[in-house]
Amino acid sequence: MRRIITWACLAPIAIILIVFSVANRHWVNVILDPFNVENPVISFQLPLFVLIFISLILGMLLGSLVTWLKQGKHRKLAREKRFEAEKWRHEADVQKQRLDDTINQNNALPAPTSDAA
């Protein structure tokens, strides 16, 4: 069932991307020299759809990086809370062990005798 839903979602996206790529396959000049547009030092040609896909991918990567950096304080807090929880869990285990030892020592003592003389 999950595979069918995945295909139902991805197939239209794939079709749209293929149609977009075919419609925008003409070559464009990309000039990276803003000061000398007539005779640029850095320029190259590539299909328009490749330029758009590269821009989208770079935008997603940059957005992901910024999100990851902004959530750093939350990850740090989660690490601290996990460490604290492990510390308290260990302390609870130590206290349980002490309680069990105390109970075992009390059970090992002989029963009190009443010698009324």
Residues in the chain, overall count: 117
For residue 87, the Cα-to-chain-centroid distance in whole angstroms is: 25
pLDDT at residue 25, rounded to an integer: 87
| Residue 29 backbone dihedrals phi, psi, to 5 degrees | -90, 130
Q: 22: which 2 tokens?
A: 């075919």
Domain count for the chain, please give it.
Answer: 2
Residue 41 within any structural domain of the chain: yes
The answer on 60 and 26 residing in a single domain is yes
Instruction: Give the pLDDT mean for 12-26.
Output: 87
Residue 113 in any domain: the answer is: no
Q: Is residue 108 part of a domain?
A: no
More confident residue, 54 or 17: 54
Least confident of 10-14, 28-32, 37-41: 37-41
Helix (H) or strand (E) holding 22: helix 2-23
Is residue 66 located within the same domain as residue 77?
A: no
Cβ 28 vs Cβ 46: under 8 Å: yes
Residues 64 and 91 in one domain: no
Asked whether the beta carbons of 68 and 78 are under 8 A apart, the reply is: no
Q: Whole-structure pTM over 0.75, yes or no?
A: no
**pLDDT by residue (tens digit) across 48-84?**
889 888 998 999 999 999 999 999 999 999 999 999 9
Q: If pLDDT is split at 50, 70 and 90, which confidence band does 111 have?
A: low
78 with 63, same domain?
A: no
**The tokens of 109 are what?**
């003592």
